[in-house]
Amino acid sequence: MTDKKQNKPDIVDVARIARVSISTVSRSYNHPELVKPATRKKIERAVQKLGYIRNRAAQVMHGRRSGTIGLVVPTIDNAIFAELIQSFSDKLDQHGFTMLIASHGFDLDREYKMLRKLLEHRVDGLAVIGLEHSDPTYQLIEQQNIPTVAIWNYNKSSALSCIGVDNAEAGRLAARHLISLGHRKIGLVFPDPSGNDRAYDRLNGAVSEFRTAGIEIPENWRLEAPYSVREAKRASILLLEQGHRPTAILCGNDIIAQGVLYASNHLSLKVPDDLSIMGIGDFKGSAEVEPSLSTIRIPAKRIGLMAAELISDTIAGQHADITAMKLELRVMARHSTSRL
């Protein structure tokens, strides 16, 4: 406490205590093989004694990497993203990176601001969710030429490198599953698609598949529900209480599907006998609900992992630029859907 300065110990302090030059201290961190073992020991002891921790900021100024990757997500508090973020972060950690995270609540203007914030911190790489972003956002990313990958949505003609699934296909697959079970009276519960290309694509995929099969969804069977079990339950109760109701409901994601499931329970509708329910996502727990939820499996963990891998490798200069990577979807036919 009576140290000559109140502040954190310096590389200079370490050098002084270890009785070597600061270059040697620096080297013992960055090129340990160039410094004599005995000297290294001395330095180590000094570091211990002082509780010295290197200052990344100073390193960054030297053109060194910051060792951080920025991730911009709509929200963290969401089963899908949480799983993704976890695997992304784990893989980054394995590569020695730390994750800076910013969430914008589905507001693309805020997304832009958060992106700038991350860039001020000189992140070495960047990941964003989906392919729908504001023009300034795209320009910014373009301009900075920092390795960037768009996660979650796949589109072969994307301007950004992307790793994810084809959400339109997810919608189609889900629709086809219901069609194949003989359903023709179908309700839709989806999130608001604005600023959310995942939801938009799924909805479009589903609707077009139904149309192809000659099925039109009446307006009053199309519901919008936020990402929330509660709201989805509330909204779908209204739908299901109508005298004339669908035989199946296709949901924009598993959370909504759970809401619909509980709504059915609440109204004493037997699932799947009275009503088939189809989700999209296959979140943790979807296989465990009773009845287990039929859904489209999106490999969130794998997406996060591969995205982290791609960014790390790009930074390390391995790949020039993989532009698009599509992961496979799988129909998980479980017990919330049945033949009509």
- List of residues contacting its own copies (CB under 8 A): 7-8, 51, 53-58, 60-61, 63, 66-68, 75-79, 82-83, 85-87, 89-90, 93, 98-103, 105, 114, 116-122, 140, 143-144, 228-230, 233, 255, 258-259, 262, 265-266, 284-285, 287-290
331 binds, among its own copies, DNA, none (CB under 5 to 8 A by kind): none
99 binds, among its own copies, DNA, none (CB under 5 to 8 A by kind): its own copies
Site for DNA (CB under 7 A): how many residues? 31
Told to check if 316 binds DNA by CB under 7 A, we report no
Mask for 13-52, x = binds DNA (CB under 7 A): ------xxxxxxxxx-xxx--xxx-xx------------x
Burial (CB count <10 Å: 0-12, 13-18, 19+), residue 269:
middle
Cβ distance to DNA smaller for residue 6 or 268: 6
Told to check if 238 binds DNA by CB under 7 A, we report no
Told to check if 315 binds DNA by CB under 7 A, we report no
117 binds, among DNA, its own copies, none (CB under 5 to 8 A by kind): its own copies
Told to check if 11 binds DNA by CB under 7 A, we report yes
23 binds, among its own copies, DNA, none (CB under 5 to 8 A by kind): DNA
Mask for 60-99, x = binds DNA (CB under 7 A): -xxxx-----------------------------------
77 binds, among its own copies, DNA, none (CB under 5 to 8 A by kind): its own copies
Cβ distance to DNA smaller for residue 121 or 266: 121
**Residue ranges in contact with DNA by CB under 7 A:** 7-8, 10-12, 19-27, 29-31, 34-36, 38-39, 52, 54-55, 58-59, 61-64
